[in-house]
């Protein structure tokens, strides 16, 4: 109802529109009114986005580093196992 009553010119407004108070907005007003009404300013949103991106990049970097370390450990274990099997095979052939 507030929106409907706000759209009607003041001199043509019905009587029951007086029950719905509203604050008329001027087209030249700054967006600073959003802060007064509990909204976030553009700088706060930009900082939140930058902080989120920085955190995401940091998490991805640390995850990549951890995965690389795990792959290297797994590769060492597989190479060690293959070398051990080769040595055992070579020793068994020498004994025969």
Q: Which two tokens stand for residue 31?
A: 């967006």
For residues 20 and 64, state if they share a domain: no
For residues 95 and 50, state if they share a domain: yes
Structural domain total, the chain: 2
For residues 49 and 96, state if they share a domain: yes
pLDDT at 50 over 50: yes
**Which residue range(s) make up the domain with 96?**
41-96
Asked if residue 67 belongs to a domain, the reply is yes
pLDDT band at 35; cut points 50, 70, 90:
very low
For residues 61 and 96, state if they share a domain: yes
pLDDT at 6 over 90: no
Rounded CA-CA distance 79/73 in Å is 10
Asked if residue 36 belongs to a domain, the reply is no
pTM (predicted TM-score): 0.48
Percent helix, strand and coil across the chain, each to the nearest 5: 75, 0, 25
Rounded CA-CA distance 23/17 in Å is 13
- In the prediction, which pLDDT does 14 show? 76
Percent of the chain scored above 70 by pLDDT?
79
For residues 19 and 45, state if they share a domain: no
- In the prediction, which pLDDT does 36 show? 56
pLDDT in tens, 15-31: 777 776 666 565 555 44
For residues 12 and 47, state if they share a domain: no
For residues 50 and 26, state if they share a domain: no
**Contacting residues for 42 by C-beta, under 8 A, at least 6 apart:** 31
Asked if residue 35 belongs to a domain, the reply is no
């Amino acid at each position: 109802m507030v929106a409907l009553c706000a759209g009607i010119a003041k001199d043509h407004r019905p009587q029951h529109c007086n029950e719905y108070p509203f604050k008329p907005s001027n087209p030249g007003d700054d967006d600073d009114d959003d802060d007064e009404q509990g909204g976030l300013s553009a700088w706060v949103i930009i900082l939140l986005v930058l902080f989120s991106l920085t955190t995401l990049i940091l998490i991805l970097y640390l995850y990549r580093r951890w995965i690389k370390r795990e792959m290297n450990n797994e590769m060492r274990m597989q190479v060690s196992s293959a070398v051990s099997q080769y040595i055992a095979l070579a020793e068994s052939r020498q004994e025969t």
